[in-house]
Amino acid sequence: MATKNQTLGEFIIENQAEFQYSSGELSRLINSIRLAAKMVNHEVNKAGLVDITGSAGNVNTQGEDQQKLDVFANNTFIKTLTNREIVCGIASEENDDYIIIEGQRCDNKNKYVVLIDPLDGSSNIDVNVSVGTIFSIYRRVTPVGTPVQMEDFLQPGNMQVAAGYIIYGTSTMLVYTTGHGVNGFTLNPALGTYYLSHPNMTFPETGRIYSVNEGNYNHFPQGVKDYIKYCQKEEEDRPYTSRYIGSLVSDIHRNIIKGGIYMYPKSSVANNGKLRLLYECNPMAFIAEQAGGAASNGYERIMNLKPSELHERVPFFCGNKEMVEKVEEYIQKAD
C-alpha cells in the first residue's frame, strides 16, 4: 500500500513482489535511473550560471541540433546504467544505434534493456521552461547469455515491464509504473531523497484541456482540424482550454493531473508526426493507460504497434480516454 511521504527506496522494496520477474534487478535498475536523474537535475538547475545551455554543435540521428544538456544527460544515463552492471543493452534517442553492454560491465546474464529520451524538450532550457527524461524498460527476448540484438528493442509497448518520466521543473518529480498504477515522487533537494507525493495518479474523470501546436493547424489532417474546432465550440462543457508547453513531459504531466489530451498528429510536412514510438510514445502510453487514460495513433492503441525501426515516428494522441476516443472518431470520420 502506497504511503504518502514514503521514500522511493522504501516504495521499491515494499512493492518488489509486484514485478513479474522479481530478482532485484528491476529494483536496482529503477534506483540507477533515480541516481542519474539527480545528477541531471543538478546540472539543469545550474543552467544560466555555467556554460551548459545552447547548442553543442552536433546533430543527432534525427537531424536535430543537440543541446549541451542533451549530451550531458545522454552520457550521464548511459554511464550510470552501464557502471551499475544491471542492463544488457541501451537505446537512446541521441544515438544512431543501440549499445551492447558486455565485457566486465555485463556477463550477458542481465535480463533488461532500457530505451531512453535523456532530455525531452531540451530546446526550452534556454528560456527556463520545464524539461524531462523519459524511459522505457523491457525484458530481453533473445537468449540470456548472448549479446542483445535489435529484436530486444523492437518490441511492442504492451511488452514493457516499466516506464516513467522525470520532470525537471519548479520541483523535480520521478513518475513511473510497473503495471500496477502510477506513482509520483518529488525530490527533496536538501536531502537528495525522493518522497512519494502523488500516490496512485489517475486522470480526472473528464478533461478540459487540449494540447497541440496550433501553429501547424494548416498542415493537420481534416479530422484533427475538425476535433480542434469541436474543442473550441461554445457548448455546456466547452470550449476547452488550450495549453501547450512544447515539452512532452510537461504537457502530459499537467494533463494527468488536471485532465486533458495531448496531440502530435501527422501533417503535410511530417507524414508520421514527430514523436518517436520507442522513446516517447510507448512509455507515455503505458503511463497514461495505468492512470486510466488512453493513447492512440488515431486508429489503434499505441502499445499494440509493432516497431519496425529504432527511431520510428508515429502520430500520437494521449490523455483522458473519452477525449482520445473522440479525436479518433473525428479522424476516422474524415477519412
Annotated binding site: 93, 117, 119-123, 213, 244, 274, 280
Q: Which helix (H) or strand (E) holds 136?
A: strand 131-139
Binding residues for Mg(2+): 93, 117, 119-120, 280
What is the DSSP secondary structure assignment for residue 4, as one 8-state letter? T
Instruction: Collect all residues with Cβ–Cβ distance below 8 Å to 139 and sequence separation of at least 6.
Output: 21, 111, 112, 159, 161
Give the position of cell 508547453: 245
Task: Report the distance separating Cα 79 and Cα 90, nearest Å.
Answer: 10
173 contacts 184 by C-beta, under 8 angstroms: yes
Q: Where are the beta strands (DSSP E) in 169-239?
A: 172-177, 182-188, 193-198, 209-211
Binding residues for substrate: 120-123, 213, 244, 274
CA dihedral 88→92→97→103, nearest 10 degrees, is -30
Give the position of cell 504537457: 251
147 contacts 108 by C-beta, under 8 angstroms: yes
Question: Furthest-apart CA pair in the chain: how many Å?
Answer: 63
CB atoms closer than 10 angstroms to residue 333: 11
Q: Is 129 exposed, middle or buried, given 0-12, 13-18 or 19+ CB atoms closer than 10 A?
A: middle
Task: Report the distance separating Cα 143 and Cα 150, nearest Å.
Answer: 13
Task: Report the distance separating Cα 299 and Cα 163, nearest Å.
Answer: 23
DSSP string, 211-257: E--GGGGGGS-HHHHHHHHHHHS-BTTBPPEE---S-HHHHHHHHHH
Grid cell digits, residue 277: 514510438
Grid cell digits, residue 38: 539527480
Phi–psi pair at 36, nearest 5 degrees: -60, -40
SS3 47: strand
